[in-house]
Structure 1
């Protein structure tokens, strides 16, 4: 079941839920990576896996290259699902988009989320010089991008090694990385996160370091906790029950009573 714009995939639809949890995927990814998470959450939660254009049911649409635009697109697509308390969890690019969605809900005057979960994403509050000292991923040569992604992990080997498959995925990957690498923070007074927020990361993540993740705390009004798990950037591989349990605990802390089973 999906929304009219097919931005939310709901493997286990729950009508009149205690909570709707929106889960956002990483750059180059899709909702598929989270489908096996759903059964590990409370039965009265409606788990909504958000899908960015350029993949899955939205594969006919061009991938967004602008974070604010993608956040607005996703919000417009789930308006009919905002009739219950909501929470958001995003990994890497998904975390940045979840943050942008939270800010846009506040700026639109709509009900804000009860909780925001940030996973393996560099903080958006520190102003970075454009592209820093290294060539950004979205501007790398095809070979350079493939090598960088191989080192990062998270993509099936077939995508990186098969030229035909790579040609299909490369435009989406470049668009996603451009979205992340060209995003710039709002003015300080419009950047803060006024909702309870928790951080998640891998203990051996070399893509987003512990310090880069913890820097999110400087922009939070209600930090709840920091949780590091064995593994690198895609630490949640093979750990879905553990991660889902921690997310459930964090939301129960932020909004007691929503984590009934």
Structure 2
């Protein structure tokens, strides 16, 4: 289903409420950072291999919260799909898939890096369509979306050589393993497309 396409990790989280007569206390909608996939939120071992479980998933399980981590097109099981052209386009595609789940249970948004702007545009569109606002938002490691382009603390990646783009990615603390010969061809495309989301915004 389209819902599973956007939220493929829900079953893995052990936070899904499958009985329609039971509802979670909260739903958490989470957007990953540039170059990443939904499993940064839905896989216990991805965030920190030194911990037996993800602190966020652990909190969800203990507090009856359902984790809905967004899988954007162009990565994971959606590798063959076209990338989102803008945060607004991503929001427009996602909202009809999840709208019915925003009205019966309070929801929280989480976004890291470019995920903060994706979350912001999603909430703007949801409110424009008359849906409830989130009860809380946890947004990290990115400037406010109204920061003028000339004040943004990065260099636009369009026209950058491969080496300069690697240097820019390292400045964003991208894991060094990504630059290896086996991983870079895939991650280069994903990272460039994700960087374009905030370069064009």
TM tier relative to shorter chain:
0.7 to 0.9
Q: CA deviation at 1:18?
A: 1.0
Change (3 A) 1:138 1:84: farther
Q: Do the aligned partners of 1:19 and 1:44 also contact (CA within 8 Å) in 2?
A: yes
Q: Do the aligned partners of 2:25 and 2:63 also contact (CA within 8 Å) in 1?
A: no
Q: Do the aligned partners of 1:5 and 1:77 also contact (CA within 8 Å) in 2?
A: no
Q: Let me know the Cα RMSD of the aligned residues.
A: 2.2
Residue 84 (structure 2) aligned to one of 64, 86, 99? 64
In the other structure, the counterpart of 1:7 is: 6
Change (3 A) 1:56 1:80: farther
Residue 170 (structure 1) aligned to one of 160, 181, 188? 188
Task: Return the TM-score normalized by structure 1.
Answer: 0.62
Task: Return the TM-score normalized by structure 2.
Answer: 0.79
Q: CA deviation at 1:60?
A: 1.9
User: What are the within-5 Å matches in structure 2 for residues 235-246 of structure 1?
Assistant: none
Q: From the two aligned structures, give the one with the greater strand fraction.
A: 1
In the other structure, the counterpart of 2:141 is: 120
Change (3 A) 1:110 1:52: same
- Report the number of matched residues: 179
- Unpaired runs of 5+ residues, structure 1, are 184-261
- Unpaired runs of 5+ residues, structure 2, are 45-55
In the other structure, the counterpart of 1:145 is: 165
User: What are the within-5 Å matches in structure 2 for residues 1-261 of structure 1?
Assistant: 4=3, 6-8=5-7, 9-10=9-10, 11-12=13-14, 13-14=16-17, 15-35=22-42, 36=44, 37-41=56-60, 42-82=62-102, 83-129=104-150, 135-155=155-175, 157-162=176-181, 164-183=182-201
Query: Where does structure 1 differ by over 6 angstroms across 4 or more consecutive aligned residues?
Result: 131-134
Q: From the two aligned structures, give the one with the greater helix fraction.
A: 2
Q: C-alpha distance in 1, partners of 2:112/2:80?
A: 24
**The residue matched to 1:140 in structure 2 has which SS?**
coil
